[in-house]
Amino acid sequence: NAGVTQTPKFRVLKTGQSMTLLCAQDMNHEYMYWYRQDPGMGLRLIHYSVGEGTTAKGEVPDGYNVSRLKKQNFLLGLESAAPSQTSVYFCASTYARQETQYFGPGTRLLVL
Amino acid sequence: ILNVEQSPQSLHVQEGDSTNFTCSFPSSNFYALHWYRWETAKSPEALFVMTLNGDEKKKGRISATLNTKEGYSYLYIKGSQPEDSATYLCALNTGGFKTIFGAGTRLFVKA
């Protein structure tokens, strides 16, 4: 039982490049979330999903897209990376919306 | 925009000291409050979920209280140890699909 995993752990991109971050969970959770964490700020919600095939915008969705084709996976895409997207990205999942979220180890992204 | 405030931003204590910090939230939007412990270079881990006014939860030397009428929760650590050094996050769930996180209180415990 791996819990929530994220790949890659670290990535450097040039401005304008694209990439996809993968989040996988093996707990059969319905709800999955992508957050970004920046110094001095709390975790900010980018996008979330309430089940396979569904996605919704969070607090800071601009510049990101997501997909949830399989229940266990939640992908976060950056189509054209910008330096403002330099951050640490955390994926989380939970089985019910008011319950504890389980977090992945994070992906550190640097956009030059 | 709902805001979850945590204070202080950071705290330095000596080993053996007891300490506490605060999480404030809009009382009209309460459904559940979560406390997480977040060690450097790791991911946040759940400490408590609190849902009822007057709730008190305890795990070892760490405990938390909740006042939903006035919109605050306290986290207490008794006899702090160096391994308690971490960021403590509180997060508000308003009944929807989103959870709003505070910026955290960074605790440093010196041996």
Residues B74-106 have pLDDT tens digits of 999 999 999 999 999 999 998 887 888 999 999
| pLDDT (mean) for A45-55 | 95
Contact A97 B43 (CB under 8 A): no
Per-residue pLDDT at A98: 75
Q: Does the pLDDT value for residue A99 go beyond 90?
A: no
| pLDDT (mean) for A64-79 | 97
Nearest to B99 among A40, A41, A101 (CB): A101
Q: What is the chain A residue with the closest CA to B33?
A: A98
Per-residue pLDDT at B99: 87
Residue B66, token pair as written in the block: 């909740």
Instruction: State chain B's mean pLDDT as an integer.
Output: 93
Q: Identify whether B8 is preceded by a cis peptide bond (ω within 30 of 0).
A: yes
Residue B76, token pair as written in the block: 């207490």
Per-residue pLDDT at B11: 95
A interface mutation test: which of B29, B101, B105, B106 has the most A CBs within 10 A? B101
**DSSP per-residue codes, B19-72:** EEEEEE--GGG-SEEEEEEE-TTS--EEEEEE-STT-EEEETTEEEEEETTTTE
pLDDT grade for B1, boundaries at 50, 70 and 90: low
Do β-strands B105-110 and A31-37 pair in parallel, antiparallel, or remain unpaired? unpaired
Taking Cα atoms as reference points, which of A77, A70, A23 lies closest to residue A51?
A: A70
Instruction: State chain A's mean pLDDT as an integer.
Output: 94
| pLDDT (mean) for B54-59 | 94
Task: Kindly report the nearest CA distance between residue A34 and chain B, in angstroms.
Answer: 11
Paired with B75 in beta bridges are B21, B64
- Chain A residues within an 8 Å CB radius of B89: 42-43
Q: What is the chain B residue with the closest CA to A42?
A: B103
Q: Which residues of B35-64 are buried (b: 16+ CB within 10 A; e: fewer)?
A: bbbbeeeebbebbbbbeeeebebeeeebbb
